Amino acid sequence: MKVGVPRALLYHRYGRFWEEFLAGLGAEVVVSRRTDKVLLQQGLSHVSGEICLPIKIMAGHIEELGGKIDVLFLPRLLWLEDRLYACPKMIGIVDIARMMFDGRLPICAPNIRGSFWWPHFRAGMELCHDPVRVVRALTRARRYIPAHDRAPDFPAGEKRVALLGHFYNLDDDFISRPMVDTLTGHGYRICTKDELPEKVLRNRQGFARKIRWVYERELYNAFRFLVDKVSGVCIIVSMGCGPDSLVAEFMREEAQQRDIPFLQLVIDEHSGTAGIVTRIEAFLELSERRHAGRSKIQDSRLQIGGQAAAA
C-alpha cells in the first residue's frame, strides 16, 4: 500500500516521525517533491486567491500525490495543549483535499485534539489493523519528534540576527532560501525559534498568555527571548494571515522601544527575490550602523571613565 505525505505545513515539524511511523506499519511512503513553481501553480488552481501562501503550496503538494498513492495521510491538528489552536486554514486543509479528490482517493486524517499519540494509534489501526505493530511503530518513530531542552549559546562578538517565522515557511527552501542566503552571505548567524527550548516557546507569562494561536505564541515567545541577543529581528508573515499580522505589530512596538532594527517581510506567490534581498540588505545596513554607534558610545564612556580615574 502506497501512503502519500505532502511535504508542506506540518510535515516540516513531524515529517520524519510520520515517515518512520508509516514505514513501521508496512506502508510504502511516498513524499511529494520539494516545493517549486509548478507545485505552487497547481495549488493556485484549487484554492481562493485570498488564502495564504503556505495553504496554496500545500494544495499543490496534495495534487502532486493524487495519482501516485493509495491513501493520503493528512493529520488535522486542532490543538495540542492549553487549548491553543492551529490556524483555521490549516485545520480546513483536510476538507480542501476531500473536495479536490471528490471521494476518488481515501484520506487518513487523524484529528489531533490534546493527545498526540491516541489519534496516531487510531490512524495506524485504520491502515494496518494490528495493534501490536502500531504500538511498535509509534515507539520507534517517537524519537523523531523534535525536542530541544537547552538554549543555544550566544558567543560575544558574533554577528547574529533573528529570523522569525513559522517552521513551514522557514523550512521550505522555495520560500526562505533568498532570505537565508542573503543573511548568511553577509556573515550573520541566523537564530530561529525552532532551536529554542520548549519551555521558552510554551511560556504563558505576560502578553503570551493572551495569544490563543499555538504557533503565534511560539513566535512571540521566541521574539522576547532573542530580541536582546541579536543585532536585529526579521519576521516573515504570510499575506492574509491575520494572527501573524497582529502579533507582528506587538513585536514591532517592543523592538522600537528597545531600539532594535525590525523588518517585517510579507510574502505571497507574487513576492520577488530581488525585492526581498534589497529590503534585507537595507535592514542589515541599519543593524550594522546601530551596532557601530553603540560601540562608539561604549568606547567614549571607557575613555571618559579612564580620564576620571587618572585625575
- pLDDT tens digits for range 254-311: 999 999 999 999 999 988 889 999 999 999 998 888 767 655 434 444 444 555 444 4
Identify the CATH number of the domain in which residue 219 sits.
Answer: 3.40.50.11900
Question: Average pLDDT over the chain, rounded to whole?
Answer: 91
Band (pLDDT 50/70/90 cuts) for residue 241 is: confident
For the chain, what percent of residues have pLDDT higher than 70?
94
Assess whether 197 and 279 both reside in one domain. yes
Residue 297's pLDDT is 38
Rounded average pLDDT over 75-94: 91
- 4 in helix, strand or coil? strand
Assess whether 131 and 235 both reside in one domain. no
* Cell (9 digits) for 118: 491516541
Last residue of a domain, one of 116, 144, 172: 144
Assess whether 287 and 174 both reside in one domain. yes
Q: Would the pLDDT of 243 be above 60?
A: yes
Residue 294's pLDDT is 58
Beta bridge partners of 76: 111
The total number of structural domains that make up the chain: 2
Rounded average pLDDT over 101-121: 95
Assess whether 33 and 100 both reside in one domain. yes
Identify the CATH number of the domain in which residue 91 sits.
Answer: 3.40.50
Assess whether 122 and 60 both reside in one domain. yes
Assess whether 167 and 140 both reside in one domain. no
CB atoms within 10 A of CB 172: 21
The Cα-based distances of 21 to 29, 73, 146, 227, 310 in angstroms read 10, 11, 15, 37, 70
Provide the residue range defining the domain that includes 279.
160-305
Q: Is residue 130 part of a domain?
A: yes
CB distance 35 to 45 below 8 Å = no
Q: Is residue 153 part of a domain?
A: no
Residue 83's pLDDT is 87
Last residue of a domain, one of 78, 110, 144: 144
Assess whether 190 and 125 both reside in one domain. no
Q: Is residue 224 part of a domain?
A: yes
Rounded average pLDDT over 214-243: 93
Q: Is residue 241 part of a domain?
A: yes
Assess whether 134 and 215 both reside in one domain. no
Assess whether 67 and 95 both reside in one domain. yes
Query: How far apart are alpha carbons 15 and 8 in whole angstroms?
Result: 9
Residue 234's pLDDT is 97
Band (pLDDT 50/70/90 cuts) for residue 150 is: confident
Query: How far apart are alpha carbons 73 and 44 in whole angstroms?
Result: 21
Q: Is residue 251 part of a domain?
A: yes
Query: How far apart are alpha carbons 175 and 173 in whole angstroms?
Result: 5
Q: Would the pLDDT of 16 be above 60?
A: yes
Assess whether 110 and 235 both reside in one domain. no
Q: Would the pLDDT of 96 be above 80?
A: yes
Last residue of a domain, one of 144, 178, 202: 144
Residue burial 180-203, b: 16+ Cβ < 10 Å; e: rest: bebbeeeebebbbbbebeeebbbb
Q: Is residue 149 part of a domain?
A: no
Q: Would the pLDDT of 190 be above 60?
A: yes
- pLDDT tens, residue by residue, 20-71: 999 999 999 999 999 999 999 999 999 988 889 999 999 999 999 998 999 9
Least confident of 129-133, 234-238, 305-309: 305-309
Answer left, alpha or beta for residue 249, where phi above 0 means left and psi between -120 and 50 means alpha. alpha
Q: Is residue 150 part of a domain?
A: no
Assess whether 180 and 280 both reside in one domain. yes
Query: How far apart are alpha carbons 9 and 76 in whole angstroms?
Result: 11
Q: Is residue 155 part of a domain?
A: no
Assess whether 264 and 207 both reside in one domain. yes
Higher pLDDT, 109 or 242: 109
Higher pLDDT, 303 or 17: 17
Residue 299's pLDDT is 44
